[in-house]
Amino acid sequence: MANIFLFVASLVDLFLFAVLISISGYLFGTGPQSLHGGALMATVYTVGVIGCLAAPVAGLALRRYGNAGLGMLIAWLPMIGVLVTLMIPAPH
């Protein structure tokens, strides 16, 4: 059962990675519809992209060494972070 959850978490993390890469132009581009993100935004974005790649690797490594529960939690952390971020209200 843990293998299935880790596989699904890996797919979700790779999908989230693809979404983050595809919206990078809207965050850091030079066009009129860009957010013109600063250094802090670039740092948070980079940590998020790296986390989407590192979390499934760490989860699979922990499963291999006998700690599947912690591995599943780590593999799902990027998606949990997205859900928590979506709960923050917009500053209007």
Model pLDDT for residues 32-46, shown as the tens digit of each residue? 887 887 888 889 889
What's the domain count of the chain?
1
* 85 located within any domain: no
What's the CA gap between 17 and 51, in Å, rounded? 9
Nearest by Cα to 71 from 50, 46, 91, 54: 54
Residue 30 DSSP one-character state: S
* 55 located within any domain: yes
Q: What is the pTM of this model?
A: 0.82
Structural domain range at position 17: 2-78
Provide the 10 A C-beta neighbour count for residue 82.
15
State what percent of residues in the chain have pLDDT above 70.
99
Q: Is 9 exposed, middle or buried (0-12, 13-18, 19+ CB in 10 A)?
A: buried
